[in-house]
Amino acid sequence: TKSDINAFKKLEVSMAETEIVKKLIDINGKQCVSESEAMSRHTTFRIGGPADFFLVPENADEIKKIIAVCKEKNVPYFILGNGSNLLVSDKGYQGVVVQLYRNFGQIRVEDSRIHAQAGALLSGIAAAAREASLTGFEFAGGIPGTLGGAVVMNAGAYGGEMKDVLKEVTVLTPEGGVLTLQADELHMGYRTSVIKEAGYIVLEAVISLEKGDQEEIRSRMQELAGMRTSKQPLSYPSAGSTFKRPEGYFAGKLIMDSGLRGYQVGGAQVSEKHCGFVINTGNATAKDVTTLMSDVQRIVMEKFGVKLEPEVKFLGEF
């Protein structure tokens, strides 16, 4: 009967999942494997349903083995930093989320170079640079992301970009090999790189800086922090800039000039402080955010003929 077939299918899925869990625990340890983990706990938007499996590996070998299991079992996987540029579906994610964050975030200074793992926070790297009197990384001190994500997307702020300071990046390829790419091989552009295009996973990077005056570095970082605090809605959960900068325009100004400052759908709102940000006023769902984004895109297109492209990444079923 139909109900027997459905029951058998559910049993097959359950057995397959049990086998996957066992393999993942063998690699990562029981304490580092969670099931049905709420993704709202792992994104700066504070939004998102449960991921089937959530892992926190501590070295490159574990990452490699986890990806191999996912490929062998045909299970989707997603590499997560601290979730600062991400909107996760209310339904969550059917697959494995591999978080490279504090568990994979060592920072080491050697002369004028900083060696850091993918999970190191940019703020932590900037602080290490300051303490070592190294200048050139001040721009990144307030970007709320990890090194891995920043390298993939060529993160930038206040006139600086990752491509300005990267010397080399070590990545895991989709085939399971480890490559070290020099800066000129990365083809870094506005919010993109060869790493993104090729589907590589960043393991670590070397940042090349210059000797500077520690007090000047500290002063510049404080100045940028002040600018960020005065202009951005840091007291609300968000995913940073919601839309990419359209050529010849600023997304925030287009949205403001469209009369959308404070525009709200459910718990999601166009920030009154900076219209380039969509904020979670407390109980926003992913559906609220995507509806609001669609409304903003439509109205800006009607008023100015400019197509806004999302900068925020989407994970799960929308």
Q: Which residues are catalytic?
A: 191, 241, 311
> Which tokens go with 291?
């509806």
Phi, psi (deg, nearest 5) at residue 207: -110, 130
From 254, 313, 318, select the one nearest 43 (Cα to Cα): 313
* Strand-pair category, 178-182 with 134-135: unpaired
Cα–Cα distance for residue pair 153/22, rounded to 1 Å: 34
What is the rounded (10 degree) CA torsion for 218, 219, 225, 231? -170
Residue 152's contacts (CB-CB under 8 Å, 6 or more residues apart) are 193, 195, 196, 202
Cα–Cα distance for residue pair 225/219, rounded to 1 Å: 10
Residues linked to residue 134 through DSSP beta bridges, in sequence order = 211
Using an 8 Å Cβ cutoff, are 263 and 292 in contact?
A: yes
> Which tokens go with 63?
């990452």
Distance, first Cα to last Cα, the chain: 33
Alpha-carbon separation of residue 199 from 57, 86, 230, 313 (angstroms): 19, 17, 36, 15
